[in-house]
Chain A
Amino acid sequence: MKRTFPLIIAAVAGYVMVVAYFMPALQQVREDAEEWFNILAAIAMILGGASILGMHLRKVSDRRAGWGFSVVTLLGFLVTLYVGLFKVGVPPMPEYPDRAWTGEYIAQGSALWWSFEYIIYPITATMFALLAFYVASAAFRAFRAKNLEAMLLLGTAFVILLGRSYAGTLLTGWYAEEYPNLTLPGLTDMIMGVFNTAGQRAVMIGIALGIAATSLKILLGIDRSYLGSRNG
């Protein structure tokens, strides 16, 4: 029951999804299975939340290094959960003013909207923006045009960075009418339309084959890593 039954569930669910794709009569089963998957993924969020809660509560109770930041995480987590689940600051729908819970959960001006607009978005966007500095720094240290492959990578990046900005037009615009394909924007279009298309397709076909192989290993019960250790 602990290991065999989950294998049967995974195999049956997977094969149903595969077979239903080819049989219109099973379309409803496929749609149901997709919806079940989405619901279970949403429920799994509770497990994630409980895990965060447990980990940070332990850190605070043990007074481990940096426990103060765990308090911040816990406060942010609990307050956001409360205002989101109880729709704090969400007005009811104008058509149903007598039903307090009918408003859009992320309505503009609500507490959850505030937490996204003024906490999540600015902090995550700035964290990603920081990568601009680190990418530039890493590129400076790592990129050396010491062989043909490195030169191709570096040269392509250089051409596209210039070609997709105004600098490309400014530098090569003076001969655009005679040789449009040899301008930086023209070269960028050519690289993106020919070499990048070919490379992306090769990568995507490779990924598709890899995913197909991994999926088959799961459906056939060869890959059982998702069951965890035998002791569990």
Chain B
Amino acid sequence: MKTETIILNSFLGLGVIALALWMIAWGQEGKFLGAQYVEVRDTIEVYDSRELAWFRTPDPDDPEETIGYWVERAALPDSEPPELADPEAGDVVVEPADLDRFTPARTWEIQRGVSRDRADEDGVVLSLSRTIGLWFAAICTLFVFSFLYRDNPFYKFAEALVVGVSAAYSMVVAYWTMVIPNLIGKLLPDLVQAAFVPEHDQPFYAPHIGVLILSILLLWRLSPVGGWVARWPLAFIIGTTAGFRLIAHLESDFAIQIQATILPLVVRDDGGFNFWMSVRHLVIMLGVMAGLTYFFFSIEHKGFVGKTARVGIWVLMITFGAGFAYTVMGRITLLTNRIEYLFDDWLWLIS
């Protein structure tokens, strides 16, 4: 066995032993290392829909609000949805069910994570799923850090996992935030309102049949024949992007930037001449022009243009230096966050 492997395995073994001892130490105090706690903020009880039905009626005290309650189906006349309340008077005509007689088909707990300092408080309980999650996240974090040594199966595992999960996550987000409310919600509004988004109040919108057709054509690419029809929706995407970007960038990144650069070169405030502000404006204006001169390749960069372009390079170098510094700071902030996660949330070494 190579010396390098022996040293690495030794470090790994020592780490595991230290972790086990640390866990035992916390175990003596009756706590599990990395445990996550939650408090139950609310419960939602769902009853069997064959026995009870849920109804909402205007709140007699606040006409803009509604109140909901379960009603025994046997008490409903002819199993028809009754007029539960007079919309104007707000009188409830069907009595809520006596829920003590029924067992909920399912009870949902609305939980919120709390810090471990509050673990002993009433109503705060250990969350197994979150604790497992934290351990899994901590181990995956170590897997990724292992890349600092060299590429290895642990890093590859974390990488493969995040590729699959994040791809599916993006699809799910797109489905629930775009496809359901904006496509299905405008073609089958009643279905979406009844099943997914009770507040959905948009009517049927016929023009969206067009995007449904384009969507089908786009998915046709998966078909073994006629995949070329997917170019039509693709062309639509490209065309709208080009049109939108053309205007948006000319407005925000071209016109507005030029407008912001047209600054008074002689700044007066409180009736006097503000020398430093005037210099500042002059430098900004000259800096922008010098930078643009560097990007202007239709004229050869020599003579006056060449010198101006060189000044432009200096301005750009300062900009890139600032960008580099901010990138480094951002990455170091992320690094400290991850280290804090490992040492505080997981190992409870710091508070």
Whether B178 and A38, one on each chain, are in contact in the complex, defined by CB atoms closer than 8 angstroms, is: yes
Pick from A36, A49, A129, A153: contact of B321, CB below 8 A.
A153
Q: A92-B44, A129-B334, A132-B335 are in contact. Are A81 and B172 (CB under 8 A)?
A: yes
CA distance A117 to B133 in the complex (A): 8
Q: A37-B237, A205-B258 are in contact. Are A21 and B247 (CB under 8 A)?
A: yes
B32 CB-CB contact with A under 8 Å: no
- Interface residues contributed by chain B, number (CB under 8 Å): 134
Interface with A: B17-25, B86-94, B117-125, B308-316, which one? Answer: B308-316
Q: A118-B133, A198-B288 are in contact. Are A149 and B164 (CB under 8 A)?
A: no
B residues 117-174 near A (Cβ < 8 Å) are 129-130, 133-134, 136-138, 140-141, 144-145, 147-148, 156-174
B240 CB-CB contact with A under 8 Å: yes
CA distance A99 to B198 in the complex (A): 9
CA distance A152 to B148 in the complex (A): 30
For residue B215, give the distance in angstroms from its CB to the closest CB of chain A: 4
**Hey, which chain A residues are within 8 Å of B283, CB to CB?**
194-195, 198
Whether B318 and A156, one on each chain, are in contact in the complex, defined by CB atoms closer than 8 angstroms, is: yes
CA distance A137 to B113 in the complex (A): 39
A residues 91-111 near B (Cβ < 8 Å) are 91-102, 105-106, 108-109
CA distance A39 to B172 in the complex (A): 13
B295 CB-CB contact with A under 8 Å: yes
CA distance A102 to B44 in the complex (A): 13
CA distance A85 to B261 in the complex (A): 49
Whether A119 and B321, one on each chain, are in contact in the complex, defined by CB atoms closer than 8 angstroms, is: no
Pick from A16, A66, A123, A202: contact of B292, CB below 8 A.
A202
CA distance A10 to B237 in the complex (A): 8
Q: A10-B242, A205-B254 are in contact. Are A131 and B314 (CB under 8 A)?
A: no
Pick from A69, A164, A193, A212: contact of B325, CB below 8 A.
A164
Whether A102 and B242, one on each chain, are in contact in the complex, defined by CB atoms closer than 8 angstroms, is: no
CA distance A215 to B326 in the complex (A): 31
For residue B99, give the distance in angstroms from its CB to the closest CB of chain A: 12
Chain A residues touching B, range: 35 or more
Whether A114 and B133, one on each chain, are in contact in the complex, defined by CB atoms closer than 8 angstroms, is: yes
B116 CB-CB contact with A under 8 Å: no
A173 CB-CB contact with B under 8 Å: no
Q: A9-B236, A40-B214, A123-B144 are in contact. Are A101 and B242 (CB under 8 A)?
A: no
**Hey, which chain A residues are within 8 Å of B144, CB to CB?**
123, 126-127, 130
Whether B141 and A126, one on each chain, are in contact in the complex, defined by CB atoms closer than 8 angstroms, is: yes
**Hey, which chain B residues are within 8 Å of A99, CB to CB?**
194-195, 198
B278 CB-CB contact with A under 8 Å: no
Whether B240 and A69, one on each chain, are in contact in the complex, defined by CB atoms closer than 8 angstroms, is: no
Interface with A: B75-83, B216-224, B265-273, which one? Answer: B216-224
Whether B160 and A70, one on each chain, are in contact in the complex, defined by CB atoms closer than 8 angstroms, is: yes
Whether A42 and B240, one on each chain, are in contact in the complex, defined by CB atoms closer than 8 angstroms, is: no
**Hey, which chain B residues are within 8 Å of A49, CB to CB?**
167-168, 171
Q: A95-B198, A97-B54, A161-B325 are in contact. Are A112 and B253 (CB under 8 A)?
A: no
Select the residue from B108, B140, B283 with max chain A CB neighbours within 10 A: B108
B residues 198-216 near A (Cβ < 8 Å) are 198, 207-208, 210-211, 214-215
CA distance A69 to B179 in the complex (A): 31
A182 CB-CB contact with B under 8 Å: no
CA distance A18 to B227 in the complex (A): 30
CA distance A11 to B240 in the complex (A): 9
Whether B260 and A45, one on each chain, are in contact in the complex, defined by CB atoms closer than 8 angstroms, is: no
Q: A98-B46, A201-B261, A211-B246 are in contact. Are A191 and B161 (CB under 8 A)?
A: no
A57 CB-CB contact with B under 8 Å: no
**Hey, which chain A residues are within 8 Å of B285, CB to CB?**
198
CA distance A120 to B166 in the complex (A): 6
CA distance A17 to B243 in the complex (A): 5
**Hey, which chain A residues are within 8 Å of B322, CB to CB?**
156-157, 160, 191-192, 195-196, 199
B338 CB-CB contact with A under 8 Å: yes
B249 CB-CB contact with A under 8 Å: yes
Whether B140 and A45, one on each chain, are in contact in the complex, defined by CB atoms closer than 8 angstroms, is: no
Whether B318 and A202, one on each chain, are in contact in the complex, defined by CB atoms closer than 8 angstroms, is: no
Pick from A32, A41, A70, A109: contact of B111, CB below 8 A.
A109
| Residue ID in chain B nearest A213 by CB atoms | B246
**Hey, which chain B residues are within 8 Å of A197, CB to CB?**
284, 287
Whether A202 and B316, one on each chain, are in contact in the complex, defined by CB atoms closer than 8 angstroms, is: yes
Apart from A80-B164, A109-B129, A205-B253, list 7 A-B contacts with CB within 8 A: A34-B244, A37-B237, A79-B168, A127-B162, A194-B280, A198-B286, A215-B243
**Ordered nearest first, which 5 A-B pairs have the shortest CB separation?**
A202-B291, A198-B287, A199-B319, A17-B243, A156-B321
What are 8 A-B residue pairs whose CB atoms fall within 8 Å in the complex? A2-B228, A69-B156, A73-B160, A127-B144, A130-B148, A194-B287, A202-B316, A205-B258
